[in-house]
Structure 1
Amino acid sequence: MTTVNWWKTLRAVPSWVYPATLGVFLLVLPALQPGYSVTRQVELTLILALIVSGLNLSLGYAGQLAIGQVAMYAAGAYTAGIIAVAGVTDILVQLLAAGLAALVVGIVTGIPGLRLGSWSLAMTSFFLVLLVPDIVSIFEEHTGGQLGLSGIPGATLLGFELTPTHFYLTVVTVTILWFAAFRNIIASRHGIAFQVLKQSPVLASSVGMSVFRVKLSGYATGAIPAGLAGALFANLDLFVSLEAFGFHVATGALAASILGGSVSVYGAVLGAAVVEYASSQSDSFQEYSLVFFGLFLLIGGVLMSGGVAGVARTFVARLDRAAGLAGRGPSKAGDGEAIHRIEGGLLDATGVSKAFGGNQVLTDVSLRAEPGRVTALIGPNGSGKTTLLNLVCGYYRRDAGEITLDGTPIRTAATHRIARLGVARTFQTPLIPPGITVRDVVASGRYTVEGTSFAGAILRTPRFRAIQRRDRQRADEMLRLVGLEDVADTEAATLPLGMRRMLEVARALVAEPKVLLLDEAASGLDEGEVETLAGVIRRIRDAGCTIILVEHNFGLVLSLADEIVVLARGSVLASGTPSDIANDPRVRDEYLGASDADVRPDDSVTEPAARQETP
């Protein structure tokens, strides 16, 4: 069998088979009689892997800069130990209580930190780790204080006492179940939402996501496996002491995350295995653990970008290309692809003004965009075009004036709420999260259209599967519309600029918005790509959507727009039909830098759409 055929055979195997095989091996390991030292090493590795997985979820995927998992780990351990001493020895009850305790700690500490910003969260979580000894001392009567919590009775399961082998199987089973849940979360729309948020909070809010809620859900969910790890640790030696929750443990978990790959589900196991094995080999490692962990961070974060998992993904991508499994190039935009009727909205901006400090960016600007029409907003750089779009979307608060959508005032609503009202947009620089496919990027635009719970994602309920199918179906329709269906399974961030701009249009359109704001969507496109974009915009307009087009390509604007508003120095210079604007001497002088002698009255109206003219 050739190398190519061998690789195709391996890639045909579902990806979940490989971790499942490892899980089965760990479950049958006691039958091989490996000895106590080996099984204990596995238990400690899996406990650390649970902590690291929570860090991967909150930091690697959701992008929340925090190292507070050790505090959640301590909360789970002491909670399990305390209720065990009180007589509740059932391991299932302890796991539930420990997980809830860690979740509460995550929510209570996450709310203020996330409100203030990422660095505030980092400091909050750092001090949380430092506060663990003080909190333990305050409740010394229950926790044992500096002496540790001893006298923990052996765990039971449904009334039966767990032998060492049974407890080992419990640790493995809990870890398998958590990682299955972790994988299902990351492979769901919630996992995609985390990565969208990590790429840009602005992007997340533009597709209707509540930035704070998504941040908090990522941070708090990452606390749960640390709590489970704490409950298992408390029952491992039936003793809990502060030494297990020091700063070196937090650093070790971070090193394991970076080394294995923080944007990886199963990289947490690999990183934990390396760190735990190294820690158990000599007393010197324990003494200089921070130095060694620093080396692991350098190796995983600098020498191997993305850790071992990142290296593996790069290697797999090369083999895929060699075997011809990589995505094909873009196809022609689907000229015959039907677009569902879109109920456009009437957007009306009246007397809008905005200043930043002493700089007056917009002064008494009015604009009316109607359904089924393209309203173009043009003007020189710095004239306030993008600022006006940002005011519509809620990124800025206007100083004066009113903006309404279908007669309903858009006052100071949060950006994500305005998006949910039906306002979608693209950006001057395409915002495309790395590590996810083209299809998933488009599907992320439907995150708030139909809601699913984390429990539904974990358990793959019928409702979740139905919504997932609709997400995929609508995403594929939009990809056919913009001619990207043949690269649907390609990593989106690797696409060239022109394709990424078309991808942003597809993402903005997938939720069928009332108003679509296109901010210089043709910038950097070649002639063929501009023609494709123009065709897509016409079909979106004909479907009934309200389109506001900010664009420097004057030929494209004249070929597409039904109404043009010209801004100059923050004020409306002129407005009217393309013919009116093309023949307005003030526009030629201000926007095109041409005089009456340079431009014949009708030249601009008939010039090719692909011609790029800069102000």
Structure 2
Amino acid sequence: MVFNRSLLAKAALGPAAGAVLMAFMAAGAIPAYQMYSVGLAAVYTVVVLSVGLLAGWSGIWSVGHPAFFAIGAYFAAYGSGHDWTLEAVILGAVATGAALGAFLGYAGARFSVLYIALLTLAFTTVTLELVNRWSSVTGGDQGVPVIQLRSALGVGTVVGGGTDAQYLAVGAAAVVLALAVPAAASGLRMRLVAAKSHPLAARTIGIAPEAQSSLSFAVSAACTSFAGVLLGLITGFVSPDPFSLAFGISLIAACVLGGVGTVLGAVAGGVYLTWNPSLSSAVGLPQPVVQGLVLVAVLLFLPGGLVPFLAKPARSVLRRVQRRPDAPRPTTADVPADLLPLRSPSEAAGGGPVLLRLEHLSVGYGGLKAIEDASLSLRQNEILAVIGPNGAGKTTLLNVLSGLTGNGRVSGSADFAGRPLLKARATARRRLGIGRTFQHAEVFSELTVAENVLCTRRRITARDRAEVARLLHSVGLADVADRSPAELPFGLQKRLDLARAMAEAPRLLILDEPFGGLDAAERALLAQHIRRLHADGTAVLVIDHVLDDLFSVAHRVLAFDFGRTIGEGTPDTVLQDPEVRSSYLGTVDGRERLPARGGDRSMIRLHGVGHAYGGVVALRGVDLDVRQGMVLGVAGANGAGKSTLAAILHGSLEPAHGDRETGGVVRTSLAPEGRALFKTLSLRENLEVAAYAAGLTGGPLRERLEETVQWLPPRLRDRLSASAATLSGGEQQMLAIARALIVRPDVLIVDEPALGLAPALVDEVYDRLARLGHDGLTVVLLEQLLSRAMSVCHEVAVLHDGVVAAHGRPDDAAFAALAEAAYFDGGVTAAGTRADTARASQVN
């Protein structure tokens, strides 16, 4: 923890306020009958702070803190009756609370927020029952007095119910608040928030969410037990009444009222708990009613809490005074000159000893083999690219290296720097020297840009902050270090993900689709960073579907398909391997294309359509005409923008740019990628849900259902009452298509129908789709394999990087060559050639 003047000044506010308050108390400025309330407010402040920070930093809502409160109070009562010292009582209460809290935190880390709340509820129930039954220690319902506790340090004796206990409570609360301020700026808080925000990403930087939950709960429980000791001393008598479950609910309400996870909010919550009885008496309503009304009002009008609401105007004024320029658009100029690449992979082939070796690696999930008997080696100072179509097993490979396979069964061997890798925990692999990025830039949204990188350190020193500042400067993020990741465009979030992976100089950097969603300038900048890492001696393993940018940085390329390695070579030669090429393009099986029965009527027409998701450009200037009775195929690699195009054609997604026009009233229906069935419902119920959504009921529904069922194969017609979860992948796909057909669409849109299916089932699904087109239905088929689209569809559009790179008829030999080139590199074909091809297809 680095202390600076600003932080020390903030930390000193608590003790200063406590000293002033105690001075007023000593001078008699506070009436004697209010002194007790002041001391009680101080005690409640400590409890609300411990509950609020646990919720705000760790995401754990506990209704078990009344039990820890009771533990501290009964420690005070028992110690006062057995001549314990004040320090011994505090130490015993804090240690007991911490041990029990650590257990609850670790046990609850595997569950959702609801189940953690139930776990703490059970803990409070058991504790209160123990208090009632262990009458020899607790006095049962009658309670037990707190007489006095002498200090072993010679401070004096604290008498239960006396004014000295009130002074002690105020002073203790001031100290706890002072400690909370630097804790809020510490690495501990950052790691707790990181584990809460994104547990999976946290593991890749060495943070174990279970350990963080256990630690945070232990600290919170210890503080609450300490507050319980103070409560026993202030009241002079301990009974079960103050520790009811209703008090647990009151604590949560006080946290929400003040502001969850804020230090000043804890003070406001403590004051509210203390004077809530007086407020209830003033308005003539029961306390639970007043508390409920206050909580509802806060949730409706001040959802962030009172203190954050009042702090907003101050922050707004501060931002006007210290206004920062908007985050710059990424360009190659963003990279400092001294950090540009020293050499490119083409100038220096990867070399050195073998750093990573995988042999006969297999990963299974149930009956699915995600990786089967795969082997690879990676040398130090080498950039290895792994390519393959969607579902080839690439991301599973990265998860194996990161230790994120979940319940997958992993076999084979993996050695990293001469050490076995598979038995190492995910959190330990960061220490071995493995860093990783994610496809969608999985940043910690509740931390600033700088904190996203700082949280990789357990203890943060001035040197750590200087190193992180240099790292952020190297990736062009120095000007936005204090901003939230949510304020940044996607390209800068990708840079942040890279910076976090680069922290602590890993020996191996794993990049998961780093070029996806970036524009040309951003991709060029990322390629420079990768080359720089290579020049500095870092081994890089990268997967991506943007092959031209990927090949520009790679020394060697390894091709995957169906979970196994199918080819290897240099970027210049790997795509010449027939098996590698067919894994992307597929192979034509000689299926006879059924003739179209349509006309020239345009069903859906797109003009200059573009769309982006939070800065991620999915489509750019797409022109497309879906004509009646045609089977239109849209082929493209994963990430080309096919699913976004499907949603826009369907009408469920409004394009950010351009126009979508229909030729009159056109009913569309979408069978989405992944099928999206209701697994717990039967086949019949899945169909009925779609019919209900279309407004069908009664007789029309039964008629439409009978008609749709006839489209299904016999083996599904006989199982309409079975759960959709019991179907095979191919059967689920046919059910998904049937569900889309039940509304009698004019245009059927099917997104990736072959995904995850065995070849025999793929043929069956495509035969049925081809028959629908032959019967006159307009079908739009979005497919990853180009050859499959060419063998079934009447027209094919090739989508590359969000752009229609080619559009024509499969029976045109010139178009077939053009389509293949456009599939791999949309920039190979001139724009004019694409336009000519598109016009030719319209004329034909």
- TM-score in terms of structure 1 length: 0.86
Gap change, CA 1:344 and 1:242, over 3 Å in 2 = farther
Find the counterpart in structure 1 of residue 206 from structure 2: 208
Distance 1:219-1:600 versus aligned 2 partners, 3 A rule: closer
Mean Cα deviation higher: 358-367 or 16-25 = 16-25
Task: Write the deviation string for residues 528-560 of structure 1: whole angstroms up to 9, x where unpaired.
Answer: 221211111111111111111111211110111
Question: 1:474 aligned to 2:472?
Answer: no
Say whether 1:304 aligns with 2:302: yes
Contact in 1 for aligned 2:105/2:210 (Cα 8 Å): no
- Aligned counterpart in structure 1 of residue 257 of structure 2, from 250, 256, 259: 259
- The answer to whether structure 1 residue 575 and structure 2 residue 571 are counterparts is no
| Correspondence for 1:514 | 507
Asked if 2 retains the 8 angstrom alpha-carbon contact of 1:348 and 1:368, the reply is yes
Deviation, 1:221, is 0.6
Q: Note if contact 1:50-1:225 (Cα within 8 Å) is conserved in structure 2.
A: yes
Per-residue deviation, 1:606: 9.7
Q: 1:17-42: CA deviations, max 9, x gaps?
A: 65555334323221252202332222
The match for 2:138 is 143
CA contact (8 A) 2:340 2:529 kept: no
Tell me whether 1:351 sits opposite 2:336 in the alignment. no
Structure 2 partner of 1:490: 483
1:292-346 CA-to-partner distances (Å, cap 9, x unmatched) read 4444444444543332344345444432332234476358122414999xx9971
Asked if the contact 1:300–1:307 (Cα under 8 Å) also holds between the matched residues in 2, the reply is yes
Structure 1 residues 308 and 417 mapped into 2: Cα distance closer, same or farther (>3 Å)? Answer: same
- The answer as to whether partners of 1:66 and 1:121 remain within 8 angstroms in 2 is yes
Identify the residue that residue 404 of structure 1 maps to in structure 2. 415
Corresponding residue of 1:376: 385
* Cα distance in 1 for residues equivalent to 2:539 and 2:563: 23
Letter of the aligned partner of 2:122 in structure 1? F
Gaps of 5+ in 2: 1-5, 343-351, 585-636, 638-785, 788-815, 830-844
Q: Given that residues 267 and 308 in structure 1 are in contact (C-alpha distance below 8 angstroms), is that contact kept between their aligned partners in structure 2?
A: yes
1:547 to 2:540 alignment:
yes
CA change 1:606–1:192 in 2 (3 A) is same
Letter in 2 for 1:28: A
**Cα shift at 1:469:** 1.3
Preserved contact between residue 344 and residue 514 of structure 1 (Cα < 8 Å): no
Q: Is 2:134 the counterpart of 1:132?
A: no
Give the C-alpha shift of residue 115 in structure 1: 5.3
Q: 1:327 to 1:203 in 2, by over 3 A?
A: farther
Q: Contact 1:59/1:262 (CA < 8 Å) preserved in 2?
A: yes
Secondary structure at the residue paired with 2:94?
helix
Superposed CA deviations along residues 367-394 of structure 1, whole A, max 9, x for unmatched, are 2222212111122222211111111111
CA contact (8 A) 2:39 2:167 kept: no
Per the alignment, residue 336 of structure 1 pairs with 338
Residue 434 of structure 1 aligns to a residue whose secondary structure is coil
Matching of residue 421 in structure 1 with residue 416 in structure 2: no
Partner residue of 1:225?
Answer: 223
Per the alignment, do residues 368 and 543 of structure 1 end up closer, same or farther by CA in structure 2, a change over 3 Å counting? Answer: same
Report the AA paired with residue 432 of structure 2: L
Q: Which residue of structure 2 lines up, in the alignment, with residue 529 of structure 1?
A: 522
Instruction: State the structure with more CA Rg.
Output: 2
Question: Structure 1 residue 116: deviation in Å?
Answer: 5.7
For the residues of structure 1 that align with 2:309 and 2:128, how far apart are their CA atoms?
39
Segment drifting more, 565-574 vs 229-238 = 565-574
**Deviation string, structure 1 residues 250-307 (Cα, Å, up to 9, x no partner):** 1111111122122222211112222332233334889744444444444444543332
Which residue of the partner structure matches residue 246 of structure 1? 244
Aligned to 1:47: 43
Counting strand residues as a fraction of each chain, which structure ranks higher? 2
Q: CA deviation at 1:141?
A: 0.8
Distance 1:121 1:167 in 2: 34
Q: CA deviation at 1:430?
A: 2.2
**Alpha-carbon deviation of 1:479?**
0.3
Q: Structure 2: how far apart are the matches of 1:401 and 1:161?
A: 67
Match of 1:456? Answer: none
CA distance in 2, matches of 1:194, 1:550: 30
Q: Distance in 2 between matches of 1:587 and 1:300?
A: 60
How many Å apart are 1:582 and its aligned residue?
A: 4.0
Answering whether residue 147 of structure 2 is matched by residue 153 of structure 1, we say: yes
Distance 1:262 1:515, change over 3 A: same
Give the root-mean-square deviation of aligned CA atoms. 3.0
Give the conservation status (yes or no) of the 8 Å contact 2:194–2:447: no
Deviation (angstroms), 1:199: 0.6
Q: What SS does the corresponding residue of 1:446 show, helix, strand or coil?
A: coil
| C-alpha contact 2:187 2:457 (8 A) present in aligned 1 | no
Q: 2:445 aligns with which of 434, 448, 460?
A: 434
CA distance in 2, matches of 1:437, 1:468: 17
Q: Identify unmatched segments of 5+ residues in structure 1.
A: 1-10, 453-466, 609-615
Question: What letter corresponds to residue 393 of structure 1 in structure 2?
Answer: S
CA gap of 1:121–1:598, structure 2 versus 1, over 3 A, is closer
Give the equivalent residue in structure 2 for 1:613.
none
The residue that corresponds to 2:454 in the other structure is 443
For residue 322 of structure 2, the aligned residue among 308, 321, 324 is: 324
Q: Partner letter of residue 402 of structure 2? A: C
Q: Which position in structure 2 is the counterpart of 1:611?
A: none
- Matches of 2:569 and 2:294, distance apart in 1: 63
Higher percent of residues as helix: 1
In the aligned structure 1, how far is the partner of 2:17 from the partner of 2:828?
64
Q: Which residue of 1 aligns with 2:710?
A: none
Sequence identity (%): 26
Query: Residues of 1 paired with 2:283 and 2:424: CA distance?
Result: 54
The one-letter amino acid of 2:79's match is: I
Are the equivalent residues in 2 in contact too, given 1:378–1:385 (CA < 8 A)?
Answer: yes
Q: Which one of the candidate residues 376, 388, 402 is aligned to 1:367?
A: 376
Instruction: Give the aligned residue type for 1:305.
Output: P
Shift of 1:402: 1.7
Measured after TM superposition, the shift of residue 512 of structure 1 is 1.2
Structure 2 match to 1:612: none
CA distance in 1, matches of 2:527, 2:341: 15
